Amino acid sequence: MQTGLIIEAAGSYVAKQYQERPHPNLVYHNLEHTKLVVAAAQQIAAHYRLADNDLLVVCVACWFHDLGYLMGETKMHEEKGAEMAREFLNVQQIPENVQQQVVGCIMATKMPQNPQNLLEEIVCDADLFHLGTKEFKERSRLLRQEMELTLQKEIPGAVWNAGSLRLQESHHYFTAYCKALLQQQKEENIAKLKSKLDKQEEKAQKKEKAAAKKEGHIASPADNGNLATIKEEKKGKEEKKKEKEKEPKPGRGVETMFRTTSTNHIRLSSMADSKAHIMISVNSIIISVILGVLFRRLEDYPNLIIPAFIFLLTGVLTIIFSVLATRPNINIGKFTKADIDSKKTNLLFFGNFHQMSLEEYTWGMTEMMKDSEYVYGSMIQDIYHLGVVLGKKYKQLRIAYNIFMFGLIISVLAFLIAALFFPVKN
């Protein structure tokens, strides 16, 4: 079973269906949306390094998951898409168990989403991938346009935004990859929706007041009391809003600090490795020359034995400390459930998990991401240990450079003294 060819055939088949059955109302659930979902699924699948059969299941499910809309099915479009996927896979002579997995992935996207395994989680997250991206606003606009064309009536902005907000707040990503990648932007999208709704409500209230004023409404004492209460509430809200705006947003600043610090440490580590490699290369050449050329002539020039030995020792010691500076240390590579519960292990460092299975590591990361204190603690550990390694690396590298510098000076002086004061007598 050639996975790539079947996935390509599925894409061609779905594209042909959209070409043969143009549907002007489908400005959101169209071929472009399907391609975006497939691309998102492939991105997530690449992270989890899916086997060929699993990749086939995920990609075919994504190609067919919304094809039911094209056939006039809205409420039951998942069932129709699954049916069409089965027909296609039967023609391709795909085994029954693979077909069932594809159907399961398509049906898992039915709202509310309810995936039962990793493949279904990937398809569900790919289907609503845009909720956590900057394209959310544009995709939401197209979906609203499609709904208006389908229902043949205009949907008020406040009503649509309230519905979008409910969807965003009730939705959550299932894969650890999407949680880490998309959650921050998703929260920003929610904040923008809330801000927009507040403005729309304020605008609606102003219109109501203006309409009441235009009708010549005379305020009674009770109305005046209510109006005073409303003004006080509004004033309180505005003061709270101003205070909130003045408050620093530590989340963003802290994350930027962690990212910048980690990047700087990694860059410094790379620079140290480059310097060590230069020292190793230069001194390897020096040692090769000494052993290959100079040692053969020492019988003729015995006065150069001590300078040659000093030069050779300098090169060897420099290489030793340069190698020590770049030599990696590997931990045992395993953690236990107790380590996660007690927050003792740092899953951001490969040395703590390289001997574990993907399922165990995914579980550990998911547990860690549930606790922001654990996440930030792991980041602090990661930066600290990077700093410790850097300190050790640069200390050994400094020793290597000092040995090379002073050894070179001493060797040259030794050669000069040997040549000038202890010449070879013919």
27/141 Cα distance (integer angstroms): 10
Residue 33 confidence (pLDDT): 93
What are the CB-based long-range contacts (under 8 Å, 24+) for 13-21? 13/63, 13/88, 14/63, 14/64, 14/67, 17/67, 17/70, 18/70, 21/70, 21/71
Residue reference for tokens 């309230």: 162
Residue 68 confidence (pLDDT): 87
Q: What are phi and psi of 343, to 5 degrees?
A: 60, 40
197/165 Cα distance (integer angstroms): 9
The overall average pLDDT reported for the chain is: 83
Helices 3-20 & 52-64 angle (0-180, nearest 10): 0
Instruction: Tell whether the model's pLDDT for residue 250 goes beyond 50.
Output: no
Residue 377 confidence (pLDDT): 82
Residue 221 confidence (pLDDT): 47
1/375 Cα distance (integer angstroms): 42
**Percent of the chain's residues with pLDDT above 90:** 26
Most confidently predicted of 127-141, 249-263, 322-336:
127-141
Q: Name the pLDDT band for 102 (thresholds 50, 70, 90).
A: very high
49/267 Cα distance (integer angstroms): 28
CA atoms within 13 A on the CB side of 210: 6
Residue 342 confidence (pLDDT): 78
82-96, 236-250, 290-304, 338-352: least confident range:
236-250
382/258 Cα distance (integer angstroms): 10
Q: Taking the complete model, does pTM exceed 0.85, yes or no? A: no
Q: Name the pLDDT band for 215 (thresholds 50, 70, 90).
A: low
Instruction: Tell whether the model's pLDDT for residue 161 goes beyond 70.
Output: yes
Instruction: Tell whether the model's pLDDT for residue 327 goes beyond 90.
Output: no
Residue 41 confidence (pLDDT): 93
Residue 403 confidence (pLDDT): 93
In terms of pLDDT, which residue wins out, 113 or 330? 113
Beta carbons within 8 Å of 357's beta carbon, 6+ residues apart: none
In terms of pLDDT, which residue wins out, 212 or 162? 162
Summarize pLDDT for 403-419 with one digit per residue, the tens. Answer: 999 999 998 998 899 88
**Closest of 87, 90, 47, 91 to residue 71, by C-alpha:** 87
CA atoms within 13 A on the CB side of 344: 8
190/388 Cα distance (integer angstroms): 40
Q: What are phi and psi of 395, to 5 degrees?
A: -65, -45
Residue reference for tokens 């700093």: 387
Q: Name the pLDDT band for 247 (thresholds 50, 70, 90).
A: very low
What's the token pair of residue 133?
Answer: 């991206």
Q: What are phi and psi of 310, to 5 degrees?
A: -60, -45
What's the token pair of residue 356?
Answer: 């574990």
Summarize pLDDT for 184-209 with one digit per residue, the tens. Answer: 889 899 988 888 888 888 777 777 77
Q: Work out the average pLDDT over 103-131.
A: 92
